[in-house]
Amino acid sequence: MVHVVSVADERNRFESPSAGLAGDAWAEREHERAEAAVRETAAGLPDVVRTETAVIEGIPHEAIVAHAGDAGADVVVMGTHGRTGMDHYLVGSVAEKVVRTSPIPVLTVGIED
């Protein structure tokens, strides 16, 4: 069974009185993004592969590690955008944090933007 999971990030980095998105708009957009990611990823798998899909809310690396543990996963496979420099510093790397904190083996796959 392949669990296809995406996390709607509960942290709104842009919520402030002077700029950015209101909390509800942020949450809705994050949920839509996560649903699209799950849909596209599951659609890319062969039909013979049994899948279970989920959109979960939380802090991405923490939610992924928790979900994998709860699901009894043997391995976590996730894409990485390969950000470097300032992008990596500002945005961080969910994949890197999962690799560092997961008790379950993690396989990362490069994704082209």
Question: CA torsion, points 98, 71, 4, 104, in degrees to nearest 10?
Answer: 30
Q: In which residue are the tokens 């994050």 written?
A: 30
Rounded to an integer, the average pLDDT of 69-73 is 96
What pLDDT, on the 0 to 100 scale, is given for residue 86? 56
Q: What is the pLDDT of residues 16-42, one digit of tens each?
A: 554 555 677 778 888 999 999 999 999
CA–CA gap between residue 7 and residue 90 (Å, rounded): 19
What pLDDT, on the 0 to 100 scale, is given for residue 72? 96
CATH number for the region 2-110 comes to 3.40.50.620
Q: Tell me which DSSP letter residue 55 carries.
A: E
* pTM greater than 0.75: yes
CA–CA gap between residue 111 and residue 30 (Å, rounded): 20
Q: Which of 66, 75, 79, 80 is nearest to 105 (CA)?
A: 75
